[in-house]
C-alpha cells in the first residue's frame, strides 16, 4: 500500500511538472498550438491554403493571448 502511494505520488508530481512546464499560465497557447497542428494535418493537401491557415492562426493566437493577458490590467 505504501509503495502504491509513493508510485501514485511520483506519477502525480511528474504529470504536474510537465503540465506546468508545457502549459503554465497560458492554457490557451497550448490549446491553440494543438488546433493549428490539427488544421495543418487537415489542410496539408490543399495547395496554398495550408500555409495561409497556419500563418494566420499563429498570428491570431499571438494577438488573442496578448489581448487576454492585458485585459487583467484594464
Partner 1 sequence: MFTGSEILLIITVMAASAVEAVEALTIIMASGITHGWRSTWEGASVAFFALAAVVGVLGTTIIHHVDIDVLRVIVGTLLLIFGMQWLTKAILRSSGFKAMHDEVRIYEKEVEELKKEKHIRHGKRDSIAFVVSFKGVFLEGMEVVMIVISFGLSNGNDYNRLKYAALGAAIAIAVIAVIGAIVAKPLAKVPENTLKLGVGIILVSFGMFWMGEGAGVKWPMSDVFILILAVIIAATTFGLIGYFKRLHNLMQHEVHLL
21 binds partner 1 (CB under 8 A): yes
DSSP characters for 14-31?
HHHHHHHHHTTT-HHHHH
35 binds partner 1 (CB under 8 A): no
- Looking at 7, 16, 30, 35, which residue binds partner 1 (CB under 8 A)? 30
Taking the C-alpha atoms of residue 64 and residue 3, their distance in angstroms, rounded to an integer, is 45
Taking the C-alpha atoms of residue 26 and residue 19, their distance in angstroms, rounded to an integer, is 11
19 binds partner 1 (CB under 8 A): no
11 binds partner 1 (CB under 8 A): no
7 binds partner 1 (CB under 8 A): no
Amino acid at each position: 500500500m505504501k509503495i502504491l502511494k509513493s508510485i501514485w505520488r511520483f506519477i502525480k508530481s511528474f504529470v504536474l511538472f510537465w503540465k506546468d512546464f508545457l502549459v503554465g499560465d497560458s492554457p490557451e497557447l497550448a490549446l491553440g498550438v494543438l488546433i493549428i497542428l490539427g488544421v495543418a494535418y487537415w489542410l496539408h493537401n490543399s495547395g496554398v491554403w495550408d500555409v495561409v491557415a497556419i500563418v494566420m492562426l499563429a498570428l491570431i493566437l499571438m494577438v488573442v493571448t496578448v489581448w487576454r493577458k492585458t485585459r487583467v490590467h484594464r
